[in-house]
Structure 1
Amino acid sequence: MATLSSRSSSTKGGLAWPLVVTIASGIVAAAAIVALLGDPVVAAGFIGSAILIAGGLAGWARLSRDQAAPETEIDWSLAHVLASASNEALAVTDRAGRLVCANERFETLFGGFPTPPSLPVADKDNAVLAKAGRAAWRDGEASAAIAKGDHSPLDVTLQRAGDDMLVWRFSGGEIIDIPSRVEAMVGGDSGARLGAAGIMVALISRQGRVRAANAVFRERAMGSRDSAAEGRDFARLLITDNHGLIRFEREGLAGNPLRILQVPFLDDDDGPMLLALLDEEHDNSPAPSMNAGAHIRTLVSLLPVGMALVDRDGRFVHMNDAFIKATDISPDNPPLYPGDLVVREDKGPLADIIRRFANGAAHAGDMTVRLKEQPDEPVAITVAGARGMGEAAVLLSLKDNSEETRLKRQVAQATKMQAVGQLAGGVAHDFNNILTAIIGHCDLMLMRHSPGDSDYDDIQQIRANSNRAASLTRQLLAFSRQQTLRPQVLQLPDVISEVSNLLKRLLGETVDLVVQHGRGLSPVRADPGQLEQVVVNLAVNARDAMLAKNPHGGGTVTIETMAVTASEIRKLNDDVLPIGDYTALRVSDTGTGIPQESLSKIFEPFYTTKDVGKGTGLGLSTVYGIIKQSGGYIFAESPPGEGAQFTIFLPVHAAQAPGRAALPQKPKKEDLWGSGTILLVEDEDMVRAIAERALTRQGYTVMTAENGEAALEMVADKPEIDLLISDVVMPVMDGPTMARAIRKAYPDLKVLFMSGYAEEQLRKSIDIDNVAFLPKPFSVQQLAEATRDVMTDE
């Protein structure tokens, strides 16, 4: 523990009070470190000792008032011993923000003794540390998460010790260095155990120099167990005779021939090599004894890579723990052949390659197999011939690429979802154009028919079915995250309250609805209508799952809301969910749950676990799209023996800055009649005809164009135009490009865009100021209202 600063003082007589405080403070600081290391009993003992010592010294000070005392500094030796026992970096600062002391781990981690929170990390992380420091002084403890310059994560815990000290504890920040660990194993006890078995081991760098070697290797190659082999050229330690036999140069041609085995422990071809050297058997010697096989098994068991030995008949001889763990082998029923581990299709190819190498094939071969216990995750296996290794003839090395496979599967899933989303968005756009024409014609016909006419009910039925079709296209757009949302700042309990009555009717009398709200819920920003659709979809799915379990009814649907803090998210250690504050919504049921093989597919479109004809497969994909477009995250779980649980995390909405009040909403005008000239540009003839008739009926003069180029030709003569209404996506020239060109001649021209795509999806192309947006499909009434609002907007 390095002491960076201390306080000292003296008085004119006796042992000064500052000395009493100083010694007691040192013991209290040591006790604080002991408490952080996890032994509060020892910490209490230290504090009690401080009280007794301080009392005794106080009495002594009064009896020795006239005696002079030298200046005294804090004795940090006890704290030093305690802090050195910790693998974490520890530092202590005082009220003035000065670094009082720190241990060696702190110096190693940060390259010296910088004073927290000013550490060699990113500025934003220093700001995080400063905020945590203020919280610790105020609350007694705090925590934070930062990253070093090499992006390795650090967890920081702060705790106040007394009234004037703050203890900083840093954990993490270490990158696993496998070569260094192997180097320590070779030169340490593991290398000594191999040497006792007669195996010489050396770790060779990519330049061919010895990085580490066990004592047996040093004795044979250098002549002494204490000789330094590090840095020596490995090739110069060996010689080769006319028969190609390898010996140590120091032993000469009379020495025992050597067999050199390369042990794979890294995938990096440029990384260091681990070599095992064995004494070669003479030609006139008997066959290798079982002791040689025992030596090899000892070596294989120590390696962190999954390896197994197979004899010439294709049977397992030995498997290390890493191989057993990677293949999920049951200790009670170990396999006899490697083919017993893989699926039926891979049994033949694996047996063929093992037979080829057992018969003397050179080098090594790789193949990908699917394990019987994990058929969906292919693994790479390396097969190499093992000569001179006793009864073993083939060496199997298994590469654990489950993480790589998982990432590939996620990328493939994301790519597939994106492609299907684009297809769904395009289909919805085309349907919206058609539905706009159908709904518009129905509206125009209803203007000529009143209730009671023979055709009135039929027209209303057509319009109702068109609206149902429009809701289907909204589901497609929600799945593809291309719908138009109208987000608001809201509280989740309010949304649940609005939809509770509807849920009770949908669930029926035999299904109980339980609603539980947590404390301290923060507001979120989302579209309330879409959020209600999410809750309804999840609740109806839960009802159907319970009815499938019990057709006569019964069960409980539970809706919970809860506040989730950033520290709780950090404990989850989820790669998908960013650290932050969330308001969570959970919908659970008491049904049969979701099969594990279906969990990864339930958010795909048109995937359903219901019987044929009882589900479209769009419900959960719509939920997924709405939540993702709202900036949230949704997770599905199905614990064994329990029902399904869907948990939604919505980011907490930051409060609006003070002084910026929301703009008051302008009152709607009941009168939709207007005047002025409108330039209508739409490439779909049906939509253009409906919009023209609807606007003409409202009193506007309408000029129409079928595309952007035709519109530019019409404005070349500079006619009087009060409003431009245009589709966004059109062939040859899109709406925003045309609008920018027209704005050059009419700088103050008002623009109303309409599209079957969502406004959020088109924002990058609609980079024009002072424009309005009308999503398709729309009714004649909605078109008239949107036109009126734009025309009267000053």
Structure 2
Amino acid sequence: MFVAWGPDLTFLYNDEYAAVLGAKHPHALGQPFSQAWSDIWPQFGPIVRRVMAGEALSFEDLPIPMRRNGYDEDTWFSFSYTPLQDETEQIAGLFCACTETTSKVRGEQALRAQEALLEARVIERTAELDRVWRNSRDLLLVVDADGIFRALNPAWTAVLGYELDELVGRSFLDFIWPEDVTLTQGGHDRAVARDDLNGFENRYRHKDGTPRWISWNTSVEGELIYAYGRHITAEKEHAEALRRIEDQLRQAQKMEAVGQLTGGLAHDFNNLLTGVSGSLELLQTRIAQGRINDVDRYVNAAQGAAKRAAALTHRLLAFSRRQTLDPKPIVVNRLVRGMEELIRRTIGPEIALEVAEAGGLWTTLVDPGQLENALLNLCINARDSMLGGGRITIETANKWLDAAAAHERDLPPGQYVTLCVSDTGTGMAPDVIAKAFEPFFTTKPIGMGTGLGLSMVYGFVRQSNGQVRIYSEVGHGSNICLYLPRHLGADEADDLLPELAQAPRAEQGETVLVVDDEPTVRMLVSEVLEDLGYTAIEAADGAAGLKVLQSDVRLDLLVSDVGLPSMNGRQLADAAREVRPDLKVLFITGYAENAVLSHGHLEHGMHVLTKPFTMEALASRIKELINGK
């Protein structure tokens, strides 16, 4: 602070103000104000005169030119001027309190400069984002929690054909492809719940009524969802075209192979049909002649030929990977023991057979008949690779596959039961291993093999959620392992089917509805049921069967073919359950109808029996179902 006093306003100040004066101190002490600050008197003179006239003045952050540290710079001060009176109450001087505010002012200047720079960058960034918004070929949008479009970029017009004012303010559901409405609503709900969507795909409806595929990524801020979508219709169509071409190529390859195989299949089926029809003709003749002693021989011959025809059909269906499986919990050791004698007879005395069973083998869920067929195929292939004799080893084991081992085998990590068949034969080269599971691929001479064996094994195991792997070297034999998932449940003991005459009898009044469009099958099933004491009601198609089901007649079981005309067996069963919720259903199927049967995921009380079946098997299954087993 300082005081200017007297007629010439003599300059008096304290030590703190001396620092403000700098080089002017101490010479300024006792000098008139106008001389001490002669360099800034033109700026401060008017102020002093106003104060000496009785006016108190204050100034904030006033810049004062000063020489400091060898260079000129502005220094800022805040001043407070107050007039001073003498004993006569006349103004004789002034008092000034001053505070240097240079640091404060420079800080504010730096802040304003930073704000200006930031504002310039925001303006630049906003312009850039605006260019992106306007020029992006991706769909950009802002949508609220209610699914209402709040902002859209011009790409929507280019991709979907709508003008923006046709979209903004409306719900996205108004423009979703009908089949994708539920999917899209679920995705929007996830986004609202702060679950960002990445690569979410759906279809929007173009203004011309055709679909457009979009792949979305989203983020959420507050109540708004921000998203960008990439138009992927071309990629989807390209991928679908490739898939169709691949399917057509595979089908062409398969048809070519089937064409090459037709002669052999026709030969086999003609032999089998001859065995069936010839046996039945002789059976009819002998009965007419009264020579009933030979009847069993003809019956057995016909049944044997029919069973071989059924096995060939199953093999062809397995090749297409479309057979209906009947999985059951089993312990593979028991199945191998049951097959051992048959395998020994099949491979012949020149081949030694060793069986190594793992103790405490886990249970697996698999179709026992198909697994038996697969094991027999593997042993026959092993036998054919050892023309001069050798050794076949069948081995079972429990395997726990970690992530690395499972990835190597193209399986999920977990517990598996393995069934491996190894031989001491010629082995396989890598290029043969790569093709071994291809349908109709065989290294055997023409006429010695169809190439369906390993493809059937592969198809069956993959349908059972397992895997097949080949380990082989030329000259060192082969090892083929089936990996089957562990089933956490008890196995089912093998039950021997009774003879038809010994099959369980019906209770009083038990009634079965038989629906099949094949008259012969319908007749046979009905006669078997009536022989066992059941009341059998026949229907030739789903419509006729539905009329019976909608009546008040007693029904304990519905036996229906799956491949019925117009209304298939599953549709009939579903309609039946609407009027008879507890009705038990047995589907009988003769070909690839697993898709109709929901790929094996049947409702409670629904079961499957695959054609051809024995009458004993049919009678036992019907009784089990009616009794609630």
Q: Return the index of the structure with the highest Cα Rg.
A: 2
| TM-score, normalising length: structure 2 | 0.49
